[in-house]
Amino acid sequence: MKISGGCHCGAITYKADVEPERTAICHCTDCQKLTGTAFRVTVQVPEENIAFSGMPKIYVKVGDSGNKRAQGFCGECGSHLFATSVGDGPKVYGLRTGTSDQRDQLVPRKQVWHRSALHWLPEFEGMATAEKAS
Ligand SMILES: [Zn+2]
Ligand SMILES: [Zn+2]
């Protein structure tokens, strides 16, 4: 499925080809902090299937596991666009679906890090659930 999107101010745009069934929710505390809200919704995109226009700023976060993740965002408006691995090797982008013009068609199929989900959220019916990473 072809999608398009970008940050709020328009400095960064992208076009991508995604599999909508690879959309997921992450309830981890890093995602809560980095988004400023309850959870994050992401679709996984191999790097060959996405093209950016504009230059995202990168913030590298270190997880509890010691793994580094590059967080791409717009330096002008602060919109979060993606996370990906750090260093060489083929990359997969976890694209933030809220930045996509087709966000309504990217329906999460699973949720991970459910153990840190905020208690006031409703249960999502029919969604594969992992208490930690998938
Ligand atoms: Zn922007
Ligand atoms: Zn997370």
Q: pLDDT in tens for each of the 134 residues of the chain?
A: 999 999 999 999 999 999 999 999 999 999 999 999 999 999 999 999 999 999 999 999 997 778 899 999 999 999 999 999 998 889 999 999 999 999 999 999 999 999 999 999 999 988 999 999 86
Torsion of CA 113, 87, 13, 95, to 10 degrees: -20
Q: Taking the CA of residue 32 as centre, how many other CA atoms within 13 Å lie in the half-sphere pointing to its CB?
A: 11
DSSP tally for the chain: helices H, then strands E: 1, 11
How far is the centre of ligand 1, averaged over its atoms, from the C-alpha of 8 (Å)?
5
42 CA from centroid of ligand 1 (Å): 18
Among all ligands shown, which has an atom nearest to the Cα of 39?
2
Ligand having the closest approach to the CA of 72: 1
As a whole number of angstroms, the longest Cα–Cα distance in the chain is: 40
Q: What is the pTM of this model?
A: 0.92
Decide: 4 and 100 in contact? Cβ < 8 Å: yes
